[in-house]
Amino acid sequence: MKRLLVATLVALAAPAFAAHEGPSSIDAALAQAKREHKPVLIDFQAVWCYSCYYMASHVLNGKEWNDLESKVVFYEADADKPADQAWMKKLKVHFLPTYVAIGPDGEELGRILAERPREKFYPEVATLLSGDARLSKQKADAAKGSLAAVADVLDTYQQRYQGTDGMAWFDTLPPMVRNVSDKDKRVALAKQRLLLLQAQDKKDDAGIIDASTKVLAADIGCERPYVLDALIGATESRHPDSRKSALAPQKALYDQYLATQVFTASPACADQRSAVLTAADLDAALGDHDAEQAVLRKGIDLSRDKLHGDLKSDRNLADNLRVYLVRAKATDELDTLEKQLIAAYPDDYVYNYRYGRRLVESGKAAEGLPYLDAAAKKAYGANSISVAAYRVKALKALNRDAEAKKLVAQTVATQGKAFPEQTKKLQASLNS
């Protein structure tokens, strides 16, 4: 899930995994749910979301999945389609994948962020659908003095990225509840996570450092890479010595996390990519280049071992391998792999796009353009704009300005109404 914020929703082809049949839109799903008195389960995903590949191939299948589908109205929302993207903004969905459960009455029952192993996902969904996770009930229980409910409500605000709203709600609790709540470890941790969100919204590096350090002192399991990532980013502008002082205490804790929850025969945390990349970022920030390369190589070797030379056997692992090679700057290995990925997934635009983009960025516009042209034939929605942006960049580098202008005009004509901001940037790129 690392860096899969909405700001990172960049181009990347029709779904690489088979879509589940169901309603044609979220509005249709909600209407069906009301008629059938069932909850809706929305899976916000995208073709370029490696965590979504993991869920599709490892979790959203089998008997548990068949049982779940019979109990809900399921909708697979595509982050690159205008209507689904609008719902992402409405529901404040920032990470992919995110699973949002909505009751027949339209009230949100709760949500699950990021990939989960099968043994964790289905119990969490069951809790959401039981009705006990309704925010209104939790708030009522919290006002009566249930500290477990206080923590649950604060966690819900955190999942929705509503740090300010969450703390404002906390302030409405009776004094007798507020005064004792900080003695509860879950509540104290939940408040720090909301304070972290507030600091991130304000771009307050000092606040981010303070809150993330306190959160990282707790046992936060698979969330550790994401919180540490925030701390690493917030210390970037500090003097090197000051930065190392802030980050060094995290090294031993993070190495233990990798050894016990990630690099094991049965990982507790599904998102290996975030774990590895954050480890590399931490080592780089501490000035330990050898350790940085070592953890990337461990990720590379583990991915190759599990793939057994078959990139189709696990697309999540195959894409992890690609990203580790990018981060390690292993250009020769990456060139070979990306061509293999293009061959392995010929119906997708994504790998043609990524390889073509990388060639253009490295000054090889003539070599990259054919790959981008191939990607354009399969891209759609927001994807097509990102592909067009690099095709324009390649054409301009090759002094084919008239073709670049024509391409921009065509893209604006077809996508401008749905994606006005993105197409405006595309138009501006002609003059950059």
Domains: count for the chain: 2
Domain C-terminal end among 84, 103, 133:
133
The two structure tokens encoding residue 262? 């990630």
Report yes or no on 402 lying in a domain: yes
Mean pLDDT of the chain: 91
State the burial class of residue 104 (Cβ atoms within 10 Å of its Cβ: 0-12, 13-18, 19+): middle
Report yes or no on 322 lying in a domain: no
Domain C-terminal end among 102, 133, 164:
133
pLDDT cut 90: percent of the chain above it:
78
The two structure tokens encoding residue 236? 């970037």
Q: State the residue range of the domain holding 67.
A: 1-133
State the burial class of residue 196 (Cβ atoms within 10 Å of its Cβ: 0-12, 13-18, 19+): buried
pLDDT at 133: 58
Report yes or no on 75 lying in a domain: yes
Report yes or no on 209 lying in a domain: no
> Which range among 27-31, 134-138, 158-162, 214-218 shows the weakest confidence by mean pLDDT?
134-138
pLDDT at 182: 81
pLDDT tens string 140-166: 999 999 999 999 999 989 988 889 999
Can you give the CATH number for the domain in which 7 is found?
3.40.30.10
Q: Give the SS3 label for residue 192.
A: helix
Report yes or no on 277 lying in a domain: no
Query: What span, in angstroms and rounded, lies between the C-alpha atoms of 200 and 227?
Result: 11
| Confidence band, pLDDT 50/70/90 cuts, at residue 21 | low
Q: Give the SS3 label for residue 112.
A: strand
65, 118, 94: which is closest to 7 by C-alpha? 94
In three-state form (DSSP H/G/I as H, E/B as E, the rest C), the secondary structure along 273-335 is HHHHHHHHHHHHHCCCHHHHHHHHHHHHHHHHHHHCCCCCCCHHHHHHHHHHHHHHCCHHHHH
Can you give the CATH number for the domain in which 374 is found?
1.25.40
Domain C-terminal end among 104, 133, 162:
133
In three-state form (DSSP H/G/I as H, E/B as E, the rest C), the secondary structure along 202-253 is HCCHHHHHHHHHHHHCCCCHHHHHHHHHHHHHHCCCCCHHHHHHHHHHHHHH
Query: What span, in angstroms and rounded, lies between the C-alpha atoms of 220 and 223?
Result: 6
pLDDT tens string 255-300: 999 999 999 988 889 899 999 999 999 999 999 999 999 999 999 9
Question: Is the omega angle on the peptide bond into residue 97 within 30 degrees of 0, that is, cis?
Answer: yes
How many residues belong to the chain? 432
Report yes or no on 407 lying in a domain: yes
Report yes or no on 66 lying in a domain: yes
Report yes or no on 394 lying in a domain: yes
Instruction: State pTM to two decimals.
Output: 0.83
Query: What span, in angstroms and rounded, lies between the C-alpha atoms of 287 and 146?
Result: 46
